Amino acid sequence: MFKKGILFFIILVQILALSGCPGEDKSAKEEETEQFPNTMEQAYEELDQIVTLLNGPIFGSRDMVEQLKTQQLQMLTEIAAGQNGKTDTEKQAGNGESAKKGQESESGSEKMEQGEKEGKKSEEQENSGSGEEQGSKEQGSEEKGNKEQESEQDKKPEEENAQKTGAKEAEKTFRQEESLFGISQWKEENWKMIKVLTDSLYFTWNGLQPELAKKGISANQIGYFNTALEDMSRFITEKNIEDAQIAAFRMAEALAAFASYYRTKVPAELKRIKSLTVGIHFFAGQGDWEKSQELANQLQQEFSKLKPLMQNEQSQSQSFQMLEFSLADLNNSVQKQDLNLLVLRTNLVTSNLREMENELSQGQKQ
């Protein structure tokens, strides 16, 4: 009887232990699979579009980048074909004009011979009055020459100023147009789209604020994003692209800080790497290499924090390794202060980040 009681007790303990496991797993799973609020996801999407329109990096997958490359090659091929066709047409037109000029020159030579004969007859009659007329013509031409010389001297300072202004504008435009595949992302019409997205971001932000307050995020952190958003609106009105770029970076910085309050399978370090990449891109484009290097150093520190958080399988994945290599290459571009390389490599980093986030998000849903 005693043995039966012990046996019953052991079985009961095992049943209770087994029944407790699912609850613990479920609780742990729920903690791991916490998701960002929809308003935060929407804020990221709207801000990404604003950053790209401000001549920033593209936040697209490898497939999207491949489509962009194909479209650009197709457009350049069509332009080249059009130019070749135009050249052939110009050659044909040139041949026709040269033949016409040949005919005109023949008829012109005949007319010249006839004119010379008539000219000799009237030459003697005109010689008598030509002296006075010639003197007056020489005096008039001298006065005209002096006036033209004075007007040319007056125009020189204006032309020099215009050339200097044109050179500055050309330099600014060139710097703004440096982008992936040589596609000019910056156009004057971008301001209208940025205005629409920024106005929409106010509504998104208003919906996100209560969610952030529930998470215990401080009023100072919330105020940092709010101030940057207000500054963005002002810079849009002023059409100040450089200050607008910095305002966009500050908003990206704030969103990355908010992400650290949520336990998801997409580490907050990825969001911080993303915001730092945006800052490196914008500051380098403005010629502030010192600030770009400072952010590049922070970026390496964030990646060092990210690596231990990744599981063995994830750290060995191709996407993670591509991200690691692209970050190292970006840091080298900053050290070399090579803007062309930097533009390529910030786009590489943002593309690799998108791939990593997609992989981790799919794992989270599963």
- The CATH code of the domain that includes 227 is 1.20.120
What's the pTM value of the predicted model, to 2 decimals? 0.68
Q: Which two tokens stand for residue 34?
A: 């916490």
Domain identity same for 222 and 193? yes
Would you place residue 173 in the very low, low, confident or very high pLDDT band (cuts 50, 70, 90)? very low
262, 287, 320 - which closes a domain: 262
Cα distance between residue 222 and residue 202, in whole Å: 13
What is the rounded CA–CA span in Å between residue 244 and residue 188?
14
| SS3 call for 156 | helix
pLDDT in the model for residue 318 = 86
Q: Which pLDDT does position 76 carry in this prediction? A: 75
Residue 277 to residues 41, 57, 72, 258, 327: CA-CA distances in angstroms? 19, 9, 25, 17, 9
Domain count, the chain: 2
Do 282 and 215 fall into the same domain?
A: no
Provide the pLDDT confidence category of residue 44 given band limits of 50, 70 and 90: very high
Looking at the domain assignment, is residue 14 inside a domain? Answer: no
Radius of gyration of the chain, Cα coordinates, nearest whole angstrom: 36
- In this structure, are residues 255 and 226 in contact, taking their beta carbons and an 8 Å threshold? no
What would the two tokens of residue 312 be? 């063995």
253 and 307 in a single domain? The answer is: no
- C-alpha 323/C-alpha 321 separation (Å) is 5
Q: Where does a domain end: 209, 236, 262?
A: 262
Same-domain status, 254 and 273: no
Please report which confidence band the pLDDT of residue 294 belongs to, taking 50, 70 and 90 as the band edges.
Answer: very high
Mean pLDDT over all residues of the chain?
A: 77
**258 and 281 share one domain:** no
Residues 260-287, mean pLDDT to the nearest whole number:
94
Q: Quick one: what percent of the chain has pLDDT higher than 90?
A: 46
Chain centre distance of CA 11: 67
Among the listed residues 44, 19, 20, 23, the one whose alpha carbon sits nearest the alpha carbon of residue 361:
44
- Please state, in angstroms and rounded to a whole number, the distance separating the CA atoms of residues 20 and 52: 50
**Does residue 313 share a domain with residue 228?**
no
CA–CA separation, 43 vs 40, rounded Å? 5
Q: Measured in Å, how far apart are the chain's first and last C-alpha atoms?
A: 50
Between CA 258 and CA 263 the distance in angstroms is 11
DSSP state of 182: G
Q: What is the mean pLDDT of residues 118-144?
A: 50
The residue range of the domain holding 219 is: 37-60+179-262
Longest dimension (CA), the chain: 159
Give the separation between CA 89 and CA 169, rounded to whole angstroms.
34
Find, among 356, 347, 294, the residue nearest to 321 by Cα.
Answer: 356
What pLDDT was estimated at residue 82? 76
Q: Which two tokens stand for residue 282?
A: 């914008």
- Higher pLDDT: 97 or 242? It is 242
- Identify whether residues 209 and 190 lie together within a single domain: yes
Range list of H helices, the chain: 2-32, 38-53, 62-177, 190-214, 219-238, 241-259, 268-285, 289-309, 312-315, 318-336, 339-365
Same domain, 188 and 254: yes
* Same domain, yes or no: 193 and 320: no
Spatial separation of the C-alpha atoms in residues 201 and 248, rounded to whole Å: 12
Q: For residue 94, is it within any domain?
A: no
Supply 184's token pair. 């000019």
